[in-house]
Amino acid sequence: MSKSIKKKLIKRINNRKMRRTLIFGTYITALTITLFVLGSCVSNPDSSGLEYMPDMYRAPSIEAYVDYGEIRGRKVEKYKTTLSALTPPNNTIPYYGKGDSLMVKLMLPYARKANILFRESHGLYGYDFSLADEYTLAAADNNPFLLTSKNSEEILSKGKVLYTAMCQHCHGEKGDGNGPMVLSKAFVGVPAYADRATLSDGQMFYSIYYGKGMMGAHNSLLSKKEIWTLVHYIRQFQNPDYGKFDKNGNPKVLAKTDSTATKTK
């Protein structure tokens, strides 16, 4: 056999081996991909499938509003329905920089404590409680934000926004206790504000802050300034002339707790 023929035969054999290797490699690759795809499927139709690289899109750190009862396939029953977005520790004082003395005072913890009975009746846990009837004592607390002819429109306008978002669904647009939640029979016994005209500003603040009856505490949802603003707005349901002034700057309604300034400076 000549050398040229021998070289041709060797080359042909090598080509066949290479072709077989490529075909085998293609089969192995296709089989691997098929197994990989099918392996990610699960029988549960509500499952998104197996996760091969969760760190690529899911942070291992604790995140807000995530159910950690099931973490990467591991079920931990004690974490079920546990909120990971927690409120700040009790008596935490926010800091917004330098401001006027009134705002700084409002940043401090509320001086009135919840009654010890509120722990069960209002579901307040982790609070500093008092044995005294703080609700009755709150009658002496005045609204620190005085209404004047210059700021009345702004304060009441902000109050309307807060009321619409936080109160109207139960107390009603007109404050008559006939909000959508009441009309749907979800809640009962929501009073009309006109029937609570004798309450002081301090008692209204206390009720919104800690809750009263079926109404829950709003201190985690509203700042003290926002609650006092709501008190001003609610007063309009008890007297339509509340927050209105004559041409001399005198209020048409003298608030019982000095919530309305007697005269514009």
118-147 pLDDT, tens per residue? 888 888 887 889 999 999 999 999 999 999
**pLDDT in the model for residue 259:** 47
Name which of 9-13, 158-162, 194-198, 258-262 the model is least confident about: 258-262
Name which of 4-13, 187-196, 220-229, 255-264 the model is least confident about: 255-264
Q: How far apart are CA 260 and CA 182, in angstroms?
A: 32
pLDDT at position 262 over 60: no
- What separation in angstroms does the CA of 135 have from each of 138, 143, 228, 229? 5, 15, 16, 19
Residue with token string 């048409």? 252
Per cent of the chain over pLDDT 70 is: 72
For 11-22, what is the mean pLDDT? 75
Q: Which amino acid is at 164?
A: T
Residue 41 banded pLDDT, cuts 50, 70, 90: low
Give strand ranges (E) for the chain.
Answer: 70-71, 74-75, 114-115, 129-130
Closest by alpha carbon to 237, among 196, 183, 200, 205?
Answer: 196
**pLDDT in the model for residue 30:** 84
**pLDDT in the model for residue 54:** 62
Q: How far apart are CA 85 and CA 62, in angstroms?
A: 9
**pLDDT in the model for residue 49:** 65
**pLDDT in the model for residue 224:** 94
| pLDDT per position as a tens digit, 68-117 | 666 666 777 776 666 666 667 766 777 766 767 788 888 888 999 999 98
**pLDDT in the model for residue 81:** 64
Beta bridge partners of 147: 260
Which has more pLDDT, 243 or 23? 243
Please enumerate, as own/partner, the contacts of 157-160 that have beta carbons within 8 Å and a separation of 24 or more: 158/229, 159/229, 159/230, 159/232, 159/233, 159/234, 160/233
* 62 in Cβ contact with 84 (< 8 Å): yes
CATH code for the structural domain at 101-238: 1.10.760.10
SS (H, E, C) 137-192: HHHHCCCCCCECCCCHHHHHHHHHHHHHHHCHHHHCCCCCCCCHHHHCCCCCCCCC
For 25-34, what is the mean pLDDT? 83
Beta bridge partners of 212: 215
**Averaged pLDDT score across all residues of the chain:** 81
**pLDDT in the model for residue 260:** 45
Q: How far apart are CA 190 and CA 182, in angstroms?
A: 7
**pLDDT in the model for residue 42:** 66
- CB burial of residue 183 (10 Å; 0-12, 13-18, 19+): exposed
Name which of 26-30, 80-84, 183-187, 192-196 the model is least confident about: 80-84
Q: How far apart are CA 259 and CA 234, in angstroms?
A: 12
- What separation in angstroms does the CA of 89 have from each of 42, 62, 86, 219? 42, 18, 9, 13
